[in-house]
Amino acid sequence: MTETTTDARTVDPIRVVLADDERMVRTALRVILDAEPDLTVVGEAATGAEAVSVVRELRPDVVLMDVRMPEIDGIQATRHILGGAGGDGGADGPRIVVVTTFENDAYVYEALRVGAAGFLLKRAAPEELVSAVRLVARTDSLLYPAAVRGLAAEHARRNPPTAPPWAARLTEREAEVLRHMAKGLANAEIAGLLGVGPATVKTHVAAVLAKTGARDRTQAVIAAYESGFITPR
């Protein structure tokens, strides 16, 4: 994972909401994040339902969402926030990172399927937490691409792929870009490999997201594995 450098003097702070039913966890996360000049915790929630309400009110850039919470879990809260049940949805919604104890948790995979941008282990070091928040907020890379690919590949092994109509609609270049996206490459890296400008790659990525019906790169990669477009090795 590549950390994005920021300049607090010229860039607005990344606004973060913490959703976890344990107050000590929220306090620890707040201390770590608020110590960074380019990050600020603007709200907290102790339940999934409260998380939906707080996010809609405060409109943060990033939400750290516990997977298991009272009332509604992190998966349902993510779905509500991102538009499945009246949320803001679309690319303008917040980037949600689910926080979990086990990276191979089925809950984590389902959260990614409904729109979470990535996941973070509860045992992650403070610097990993800070880097993850910056990455999902201000870059076009996948958060922990190898882990996301591993989850998607494991799900694909257990479930027969279903060929979607979008696969036939991808151009050859768009298909190539999607494969590079699945490797976790950022637009600039893909541009270097293809010999084109980053703006051209950005256009191809937008087309891939539109044709796959994906909210972001994470969902596009998951769709590629579930459809059999990319085969687990």
Is 144 within a domain?
Answer: no
Is 3 within a domain?
Answer: no
Calculate mean pLDDT across residues 76-87.
Answer: 74
What is the spatial distance between Cα 196 and Cα 188, in angstroms, rounded to a whole number?
9
Tell which phi-psi region holds residue 59, choosing left (phi > 0), alpha (psi between -120 and 50) or beta: left
In terms of domains, do 27 and 126 share one?
yes
What is the per-residue pLDDT for 7? 47
Which CATH number do you get for residue 84? Answer: 3.40.50.2300
Is 168 within a domain?
Answer: yes
What is the per-residue pLDDT for 203? 96
Which CATH number do you get for residue 168? Answer: 1.10.10.10
This prediction's pTM: 0.84
Number of domains comprising the chain: 2
Calculate mean pLDDT across residues 92-99.
Answer: 88
Domain of 213 in residue numbering reads as 153-226
Is 18 within a domain?
Answer: yes
Percentage of the chain exceeding pLDDT 70: 89
In terms of domains, do 66 and 92 share one?
yes
What is the per-residue pLDDT for 159? 78
Calculate mean pLDDT across residues 192-201.
Answer: 96
Calculate mean pLDDT across residues 93-97.
Answer: 91
What is the spatial distance between Cα 130 and Cα 69, in angstroms, rounded to a whole number?
23
- pLDDT of 103 > 70? The answer is no
What is the per-residue pLDDT for 233? 65
In terms of domains, do 101 and 188 share one?
no
What is the spatial distance between Cα 93 and Cα 82, in angstroms, rounded to a whole number?
6
Q: Which of 196, 189, 223 is nearest to 208 (CA)?
A: 223
Single out the residue in 139, 169, 194 at which a domain terminates: 139
What is the per-residue pLDDT for 111? 87
In terms of domains, do 63 and 109 share one?
yes
Single out the residue in 139, 165, 192 at which a domain terminates: 139
In terms of domains, do 39 and 133 share one?
yes
